[in-house]
Amino acid sequence: MPMRESSNISSKREIKAPVVREYLDQRGENLHKILKESISDFPGAEISISIDMVTVKIDSVRLAEVCEFLKYTEKFRFDYLSCITVVDYEKDQERFEMIYHLISIRLRHKMAIKVSLPSNDPTVPSVLSVWKSADWFEREAHDLFGIKFEGRENLPPLLLYEGFEGYPGRKSYPFHDYGEW
Amino acid sequence: MEVDENANIHIPKYDGFPPTEKPLGDGYKAGKGNNPADSVFNRVLPNALTAKSDQLFALARKSSLWTLSFGLACCAIEMISAHASHHDLDRFGVVTWPSPRQADVMIVAGTVVKKMADPIKLLYEQMPDPKWVIAMGSCATNGGPYYKSYSVVMGVDHLIPVDVYVPGCPPRPEALIYGVMQLQEKIKNDANQPFEKESLNANEGEQ
Amino acid sequence: MQVHQQVSEYSDAIDLMVNMGPQHPSTHGVFRLVIWVDGERIVKVEPHIGYLHRGSEKICESEQYSQIVTLFDRLDYVGNLNNELAFCLAVEKLTETVVPERAEYIRVILCELNRIASHMLFYGVYGLDAGATTPMLYGFRERERIQELFESVTGARMMHNYIRIGGVKEDVPDDFDENVLVLLEHLKKGIDECDRLLSQNEMFLARTKGVGIITGEDALDYGVTGPALRASGVIEDVRVTDPYSIYSRFDFGIPVGSNGDCWDRYYVRVEEMRESIKIVEQAISDIPNGDISAKVRRIIRPPVGEVFVRTESPRGDLGVFLVSDGSDKPYRVKVRPPSFANLQALEYMLKDTYIADAVLVLGSIDIIMGEVDR
């Protein structure tokens, strides 16, 4: 039986989708407590929990400061940037959400930093000066989503060929209709 | 020694020594059909074997196919497995050679991405004639599981002419060996025609 | 008549650009490395990737969850089961599915055997990079044994599509236990043989000792994980520090190097194979009977939320970030590939080395371009 387009199914019935529970382990609890105390230094920061990850949402302007603080302060010591993700929520304001996953090898806890960017001219300060592993992740975000990074020169495309038009990671970029190239 | 009925290999019968006295030129008489004349070899070297040069060259070419080591993605691992211990491709005379100038066959193993299209064409043009291409795996055949992608060429035959397609994702090493054997058959069967270089120009050639 | 001008000793150094192009026998896939050399010394290195960018993450947004497992198979195409496991763990965490015990044990056994197969491939190909052609045949012989076992269990040599959301696809055959024990005996002898063949070879030592050194601090800053990080002295293994699945039940060691050079990165992997054998032995003796999959719907609709999962693949820290909007297709799937970050450290490792070492340093990081480019 051929698979129908699932969009038909979902429009017919309501998605009663529950939201995930949060359960932090011991280290997560400790981290949550220390973060609540120190993060009041940075205005505009909101702390939340997503399953087992403590998440801090901050303004994009303060990103480099917060990252340096988190890397060099003794109680946090987030010395390893695991991943930089960009998610495209198709809204006008706060369209792109960038998520930085940080892990501390010494103290064995992890957290995520979220930054929201608007749809026109999404710019965010680069964290290359804090962790060198951000280099290629930022170039990839630039290729696929068109995010601009302050504080570093924009190098040639990493994953796509030179002259590729459009940003394929965005939701507005279409899928390939199976035809011929 | 294999005796192929289709081949025009003339194996002289050994009549006994000294050879019978037949005047030269009997075979040129009208009505004798296409029988070759009694060759000199019949009288001097009765145990010589003659064949058309195209078939001899085909035999030489198919028994020693040097492949350009060109693994792109997952199929490359199965290609390496086919060359390595268990399924040995070396017993077919197939060795993998890094330089395109000295390779006969290009086994395109893996997904062809638009960024890689130019290097593939360059490598194909660098290979000297006669050359063949085996498209290994479903990505090289027609895009494979990435048919929705924005950056995949749907099959390497959009870029270069392909002789043998080996389906699978990835094809087993035995399937690749079968593909190589089919290519050997093709080389043998094409021996009757001169090697034609297919045009890479999109306007000429078949659609 | 032209007289060749003699190049004086004190003239400015002439930089020559050498292109290790996308097609090269030792670049482990389609990877382009542009090297500027001054004589024999490497001055600058510029890696170019993207020759295998297939857009897997974008395709995942248009496929249902159970269809994505096949896409993940093809990311790190040597350690397939580890990739499938990472994705299935992410979805199970999001939907709070409890995987039955027998399925967990089968998963761990197959993933560890896959780790041994992946390291055997590394061993064979690294020997070939160093100029030795025999280790490749020895390595692939062991790999073929493991692939035979996989074929009897999952039906395929490479792209298994066996670890599904909620458990595994189907039960193992009846003679699985004996097969695994026989295989382990062969593997122990095989690993010892491979070790004896290459590790203490004088020429191999001369080529790899003291080459491509990276310290632990710098490695962590560049995001290097896995055996490449452990070889620099940092004790970090996701199976131990942030355990997932049932790895906390097993007793195994973490091999850690001291110098951070190519030989350490190579030998850490050889020792890791031995540790993996220990894990499989413990698992196969404790494997319980029971279900092999939890009851999940055919079309999975996880709740709205996001999850980030880390696992230890043979190459390092493989992370999967999943955003779900409640429908049957994910909103965003992001793969954090270990080779992507490890490859960034190549520039650092190739400072002040000779051009002949470029191939060995690249081989010692053990990259798979399928996951670098996705």
Tens of pLDDT, residue by residue over C350-374, are 988 898 888 999 999 989 999 998 8
Asked whether residue A96 carries a pLDDT value surpassing 50, the answer given is yes
- Across chain C, mean pLDDT equals 89
Per the model's pLDDT, the better-predicted residue between A14 and B129 turns out to be B129
Asked whether residue C142 carries a pLDDT value surpassing 70, the answer given is yes
Residue-level pLDDT at C274: 94
Distances (CA, A) of C3 to C9, C13, C14: 18, 21, 20
Q: Which residues of B43-53 are buried (b: 16+ CB within 10 A; e: fewer)?
A: beeeeeeeeee
C-alpha distance from A92 to closest chain C C-alpha (Å): 18
Asked whether residue B83 carries a pLDDT value surpassing 60, the answer given is yes
Q: How far apart are CA B177 and CA C10, in angstroms?
A: 57
Of the residues C220, C318, C367, C373, the best mutation for testing chain A's interface (the one with the most A CB atoms within 10 Å of its CB) is C220
Phi, psi angles (nearest 5°) of residue C81: -65, -30
How far, rounded to the nearest angstrom, does the alpha carbon of residue A149 sit from its chain's CA centroid? 14
Class of residue A146 by CB neighbours under 10 A (exposed 0-12, middle 13-18, buried 19+): middle
Sequence-distant (≥ 6) Cβ neighbours of residue A10 within 8 angstroms: C327, C328
Q: Which helix (H) or strand (E) holds A54?
A: strand A53-58
Tens of pLDDT, residue by residue over C93-116, are 988 889 999 999 999 999 999 999
Instruction: Evaluate whether B73 touches B110 at the Cβ level (below 8 Å).
Output: yes
- DSSP letter at A99? E
Sequence-distant (≥ 6) Cβ neighbours of residue C333 within 8 angstroms: C57, C60, C61, C68, C320, C321, C322, C323
ipTM confidence score:
0.88
Asked whether residue C320 carries a pLDDT value surpassing 80, the answer given is yes
Closest to A68 measured CA to CA, from A32, A41, A108: A41
Q: Would you call C171 helix, strand, or coil by DSSP?
A: coil
Which chains form contacts with chain C, at 3 or more CB pairs under 8 Å? A, B
Give the count of beta carbons closer than 10 Å to the beta carbon of residue A70: 23
Q: How far apart are CA B172 and CA B167, in angstroms?
A: 9
Q: Starting at the earlier edge strand, list the strands of the sheet with C41-48.
A: C15-20, C32-38, C41-48
Q: How far apart are CA A98 and CA B19, in angstroms?
A: 93
- Is A180 close to B115, i.e. CB distance below 8 A? no
Q: Which helix (H) or strand (E) holds C313?
A: strand C305-313
Give the count of beta carbons closer than 10 Å to the beta carbon of residue B85: 16
Sequence-distant (≥ 6) Cβ neighbours of residue C115 within 8 angstroms: C79, C82, C272, C273, C276, C314
Contact of C372 with chain B, judged by CB distance below 8 Å, is answered with: no
Instruction: Evaluate whether A155 touches A165 at the Cβ level (below 8 Å).
Output: no
- Across chain A, mean pLDDT equals 80
Q: How far apart are CA C24 and CA C54, in angstroms?
A: 21
- Is C141 close to B86, i.e. CB distance below 8 A? yes
Average pLDDT for residues C284-293, to the nearest whole number?
A: 89
Q: How far apart are CA B52 and CA C344, in angstroms?
A: 58
The lowest-confidence range among A2-11, C9-18, C248-257 is: A2-11
Asked whether residue C265 carries a pLDDT value surpassing 90, the answer given is yes
Name chain A contacts of C326, Cβ cutoff 8 Å. Answer: 15, 17
Residue-level pLDDT at C53: 92
Instruction: Evaluate whether B153 touches B123 at the Cβ level (below 8 Å).
Output: no
Asked whether residue B5 carries a pLDDT value surpassing 70, the answer given is no
Q: How far apart are CA B173 and CA B79, in angstroms?
A: 7
Asked whether residue C24 carries a pLDDT value surpassing 70, the answer given is yes
Write the DSSP assignment of A112-138 as a string of letters: EEEEEE-SSS-EEE--TTT-TTHHHHH
Residue-level pLDDT at A179: 54
The lowest-confidence range among B115-119, B190-194, C185-189 is: B190-194
Per the model's pLDDT, the better-predicted residue between C255 and A19 turns out to be C255
Instruction: Evaluate whether A86 touches A169 at the Cβ level (below 8 Å).
Output: yes
C-alpha distance from C191 to closest chain B C-alpha (Å): 16
Residue-level pLDDT at A24: 76
Residue-level pLDDT at C11: 45
Residue-level pLDDT at B137: 92
Average pLDDT for residues C206-210, to the nearest whole number?
A: 90
Q: How far apart are CA C316 and CA A125, in angstroms?
A: 28
The lowest-confidence range among A73-77, A97-101, B190-194, C146-150 is: B190-194
Name chain A contacts of C333, Cβ cutoff 8 Å. Answer: none
- Is A6 close to C327, i.e. CB distance below 8 A? yes
How far, rounded to the nearest angstrom, does the alpha carbon of residue B46 sit from its chain's CA centroid? 32
Tens of pLDDT, residue by residue over C154-191, are 998 999 999 999 899 989 999 999 999 999 999 999 99
Name chain C contacts of B116, Cβ cutoff 8 Å. Answer: 22, 30, 51-52
Per the model's pLDDT, the better-predicted residue between A177 and C327 turns out to be C327
Distances (CA, A) of C194 to B81, C65, C134, C260, C304: 18, 40, 10, 22, 49
Instruction: Evaluate whether C74 touches B76 at the Cβ level (below 8 Å).
Output: no
The percentage of chain B sitting over the pLDDT mark of 90, rounded to a whole number, equals 30
pLDDT band at residue C270 using 50, 70 and 90 as cut-offs: very high
β-partners of residue A57 are: A46, A114
Using omega within 30 degrees of 0 as the cis cutoff, is the peptide bond preceding B170 cis? Answer: yes
Residue-level pLDDT at B129: 81
Which chains form contacts with chain B, at 3 or more CB pairs under 8 Å? A, C
Name chain C contacts of B98, Cβ cutoff 8 Å. Answer: 24-25
Tens of pLDDT, residue by residue over C253-263, are 999 999 889 99
Q: How far apart are CA C315 and CA A19, in angstroms?
A: 34
Tens of pLDDT, residue by residue over B134-165, are 999 999 998 888 888 888 988 898 899 999 99
Write the DSSP assignment of C233-292 as a string of letters: T----HHHHS--TTGGGS-------SS-SHHHHHHHHHHHHHHHHHHHHHHHHHPPPS-S
pLDDT band at residue A9 using 50, 70 and 90 as cut-offs: very low
- Is B114 close to A175, i.e. CB distance below 8 A? no
pLDDT band at residue C123 using 50, 70 and 90 as cut-offs: very high
